[in-house]
Amino acid sequence: MDAELMLRWMSETGAGSIRDLGDKLRWLARTSDLSFHSFAGEQWLRDASMLAHAEVRWDADRWAIAPTVITRLPAADGSAVVVGARPASLRERLEDSNVSFLAFAAERVADHLPSPETWIIQFDDVATLQKIAEEAGAVYGGCAAVRLSNRLPALALGSPAAPPSAVAADLDQLQPNGQFSSVEPNPTRDGLYRMRVNNRRVHLYRRDGDWYHCDRSTGIYSYLARRGTSVLRWRRDKGRGRETTGTLFVDRRAPLPVLHARAATLCSGFTPRLNQAAQTFSYGNVPRTVAGQIAASLSQNLEEVR
């Protein structure tokens, strides 16, 4: 599947329906004879959002392409990543500029649709990078990972909600083992619940007898915070001069909310790697300060591992 073609189409189209985009992604995958799971289209769009290529409103069935931005990578020796819209002429303009331009194919994950390439620019000084961005029709974004981590919102549930209907379809509750299991209607235990409404999965959180709207990630971390359970770990890199940068590990069953995931992803420009044996996602080149801010905003205690 040509993920670059899809991102270019999104860049030219500007915005649209999530459902329609999913149909196009699945059609494009079938033309390449790719195997993929039933939620592969949604996963591809989540990755595009994590990489800052698009903004997504799942509740409104809408996506919108983000502006083209060139942002420095933290502690990366003069490297920057290009995110957002990719109109047809952008790559040519960058390759013709007075910097080193590198394109890296995304790592292929079984049953997932391939993500767009990661575009890296190597530069000598910020003034040159700002000039390159201007000439390419992009915005220079400073170090977005650090800036975003400084502004992460505190963990908070959404607006008040009505309890699940007595006829709610497929009502499940999050269990201490990190999995959802079916429960009877009219539940009386606090925690995170999910159900299907108009063929969409909806999450609600019950706290002290009151119900609130939430997304899946916020609900999971609210549950973990209430239990005092931490699922974030950080391991410093080896090598001289790398003492403050490392890898952030996140349990697979507790994916980061979109803004937190974007802050971690923009430290390297690559989506997280899935470690099958440990069942964790790992984000590379994450400064200890950024990892700490991500953990603090989610009411997590960041464990440092060796």
Look at residue 111 in the predicted model and tell me its pLDDT. Answer: 67
Over residues 212-233, the mean pLDDT reads 94
In which order are the strands placed within the sheet that holds 191-197?
A: 180-182, 169-174, 191-197, 200-207, 210-214
What pLDDT, on a 0 to 100 scale, did the predictor assign at position 110? 65
Band the pLDDT of 169: cuts 50, 70, 90: low
pLDDT band at 37 (very low <50, low <70, confident <90, very high): low
Tokens 């989610």 locate to 298
8 Å CB contact between 53 and 116: yes
Taking residues 152-178, report their average pLDDT: 87
Tokens of 44: 């591809």
Q: What pLDDT sits at residue 69?
A: 97
Give mean pLDDT, residues 58-76. 92
pTM greater than the 0.85 cutoff: yes
Q: How confident is the model at residue 167 (pLDDT cuts 50, 70, 90)?
A: low
**Helices (H), ranges, 51-186:** 90-95, 126-136, 144-150
The residue among 300, 272, 306 whose CA lies nearest residue 286 is 272
Amino acid type, 57? R
What average pLDDT does this structure show over 282-294? 96
Q: Which residues on adjacent β-strands are paired with residue 110? A: none
How confident is the prediction for the chain on average, in pLDDT?
89
% of the chain residues with pLDDT over 70: 94
Percent of the chain past pLDDT 90, that is, above it, reads: 64
Residue 196 CB: number of other CB atoms within 10 A? Answer: 13
DSSP state of 52: T
pLDDT at 270 over 70: yes
Place 217 in a pLDDT band, splitting at 50, 70 and 90: very high
